[in-house]
Amino acid sequence: MSEDAATSGDAATRWREERRESAFAHAEALARRQRAESDHARRLIADFVEQARAQGPEPVALRARSYDGRHRYRTRLTGWYLRRDESVAVDRDGQFYVLSAPTSFSALLRGVDPAPQDPPLVLGAGGKDGESLDLTQALDRVLHG
């Protein structure tokens, strides 16, 4: 191998390694930012739950909707829907849920058990125009109609 080819190969290797390190740094920064946003959202939700327990409204039985939107499934959860389409909610313990599930005959009979998720500061971010809603607005709407 000529000296030029070896130098070129070393440069390409260095460039790939720098790109890999840069991508890793960007991914780490994004993960830190998402954790900080979720921590802030959890504090907002905790304040909301405290206010709702003290002043109302009363929590309701939460139901999940099938992905195709044709079925509604029972859950063991009670809490407050945050969107008018009832696609996301907060339970009485302050856990955040996306209330959707795959279409399933057994879910019609037994219900579903959604898992809590990290709450976002914007509900529906990245969706169609008009579908995103700030968490603070959603929580305020539940408390004050």
Going from the first residue of the chain to its last (145 residues), give the mean pLDDT of each consecutive group of 10, the final group possibly shorter: 66 89 88 92 97 96 95 97 95 97 91 96 72 92 92
3-class SS of residue 80: strand
CA of residue 39 relative to chain centroid, distance: 12
Q: What whole-number distance in Å separates Cα of residue 104 and Cα of residue 122?
A: 29
pTM, two decimal places: 0.81
pLDDT of residue 25: 87
pLDDT of residue 3: 60
Q: What whole-number distance in Å separates Cα of residue 89 and Cα of residue 83?
A: 8
Element (H, E) at 60: strand 60-66
pLDDT of residue 131: 75
Q: What whole-number distance in Å separates Cα of residue 93 and Cα of residue 86?
A: 18
